Amino acid sequence: MRRIALLGSTGSIGVQALDVVRSTAGLEVVALSAHSRWEELLEQARVHKVSRVAISDPQAADAARAAWDGEVLCGPEALAHLITGAAPDLVCNAIVGSAGLAATVVTLSEGIDLALANKESLVVGGELVTELAAATGARLLPVDSEHSALHQLIASEKGQPPGTIERLTLTASGGPFRGRSREELRAVTVEQALDHPTWRMGGKISIDSATLMNKGLEVIEAHQLFGTAYSAIDVVVHPQSIVHAMISLTDGSSLAHLGHPDMRVPIAYALQWPERVDLDVRPLDLTAVGALTFEAVDENAFPCLGLALAAGKEGGTAPCVLNAANEVAVAAFLDRRCSFLEIAEVIEGTLGAVAIEQIYSFETLIESDRAARDEAASRVAALA
Ligand code: NDP
Ligand code: MG
């Protein structure tokens, strides 16, 4: 049995990860965590016979304690205690936002393998995270579908001389606003932005997909995971979301990874690696799919991708500032305190105002994250 600690278990990825645990053999859940949805969390704990959970919202933790005789951890060290106490073989980090960084750090510091959905950890933590994994020997297994695809494609070229893989391509669905001009994006609503054409996901990543910030975060994630130069990573819009990623080789071959959009596939790959398991998913019938189409990103309508690439190339704390400003702006948009186009304006303004520094330690990142959040929040407040 592979013992799994699942963090962010009440979210979109978390619920699908539990589905994978129930529908495939050899996995056992030993710890669960959520932010505030304690009732859903306790139900999951009951079904999976888990006796210890972490809840980050103090009121929700109190409510859970009153309703349950298992152990409820809360407070700044809760996730660290949950992970070290459960001593899992694998942690699946499906927390949303830079709140997931601490759990990534604890997991890798303990030398525990990490199935990482929380891309913000890699965007914010960058080399510190990958160096930590290298130092302890913990494996980083991507859950993000494009990176899972790349992990598989790159593994297929193992044994070839370095440099055989020349380029990586990430596909983007284009989100609900693909094809719209900047002008047409001025008055789009939260409901329209949340209505993703191919994937069903949590609120934050759905908005990131609509602005294309998600693809920007993913380029940084790919750079960190695979050590590929930014100049060798391409993004192409592919509305059907059937091709997830592609690698291009020196001999002119390009290898692509295909499948219907279903996050259980990359989740199962990460949880069961290196085994391939039998998963009940819709088979890919290319004649039924018909056409696969590809187009370039409209950088004028979707400036967030360019902002993310620039921050990635700048390095240091720039991706951390970008991510924090994005989290503040997306929360404001969901709260109807800023418009869709103002998300990019808040991020760009914050990147211009907050000093970008070299990263010496995780404390640098925590300070930079805080400074960027304060700056972005005051920019949102000034919009009204
Ligand atoms: P959701 O918003 O659906 O779920 C987030 C989870 O994290 C919930 O369990 C939530 O608890 C918990 N959480 C929220 N805030 C905190 C916090 N401050 N501290 C601790 N836990 C917290 O997100 P998704 O499942 O969509 O996404 C999770 C991660 O996976 C993100 O990084 C996203 O980018 C990535 N990802 C998601 C994909 C998808 O298809 N959804 C695809 C690829 C990557 P509660 O329910 O109590 O609020
Ligand atoms: Mg993705």
Ligand 1 pocket list (CB less than 6 A): 8-14, 34-37, 56, 94-96, 99, 117-120, 144, 199, 201-205, 263
State whether CATH 1.10.1070.11 applies to domain 148-261+287-383. Answer: no
- Residue 303 pLDDT exceeds 80: yes
Distance 149 CA to ligand 2 centre (A): 10
Q: Is 62 helix (H, G, I), strand (E, B) or coil?
A: helix
**Ligand 1 pocket test target in 95, 211, 264 with most atoms within 8 Å of CB:** 95
Instruction: Give mean pLDDT, residues 52-77.
Output: 97
Contact 111, 93 (CB under 8 A): no
Report the atom number in ligand 1 closest to the C-alpha of 144: 43
Per the document, the length of the chain is 384
- Furthest-apart CA atoms within the chain: distance in Å: 63
User: Tell me, what's the pLDDT at 42?
Assistant: 98
DSSP calls for 82-151: HHHHH--SEEEE---SGGGHHHHHHHHHTT-EEEE--HHHHHHHHHHHHHHHHHHT--EEE-SHHHHHHH
**What's the pLDDT tens digit per position in 309-342?**
999 999 999 999 999 999 999 999 999 999 999 9
Distance 214 CA to ligand 2 centre (A): 7
Contact 298, 185 (CB under 8 A): no
User: Tell me, what's the pLDDT at 200?
Assistant: 83
CATH class of 2-143: alpha beta
**Ligand 1 pocket test target in 96, 173, 196, 263 with most atoms within 8 Å of CB:** 96
- In the numeric block, the tokens 């590809």 are attached to 294
Distance 205 CA to ligand 2 centre (A): 9
Distance 137 CA to ligand 1 centre (A): 26
Rounded to whole angstroms, what are the CA distances from 208 to 108, 138, 143, 305?
27, 29, 17, 10
Q: What is the torsional sign of CA 29, 32, 37, 42?
A: positive
Backbone angles phi, psi at 216, to 5 degrees: -65, -45
**What's the pLDDT tens digit per position in 149-174?**
999 999 999 999 999 999 999 999 99
User: Tell me, what's the pLDDT at 196?
Assistant: 85
Instruction: Give mean pLDDT, residues 268-289.
Output: 97
DSSP calls for 303-347: HHHHHHHHHHHH-TTHHHHHHHHHHHHHHHHHTTSS-HHHHHHHH
Distance 203 CA to ligand 1 centre (A): 9
Q: Which residues are bridge partners to 86 per DSSP?
A: none
> What are the sequence ranges of the domains in the chain?
2-143, 148-261+287-383
Lowest mean pLDDT among 56-60, 134-138, 361-365, 370-374: 361-365
What is the pTM (predicted TM-score) of this model? 0.98
Backbone angles phi, psi at 208, to 5 degrees: -60, -35
Report the atom number in ligand 1 closest to the C-alpha of 145: 43
Report the atom number in ligand 1 closest to the C-alpha of 117: 30
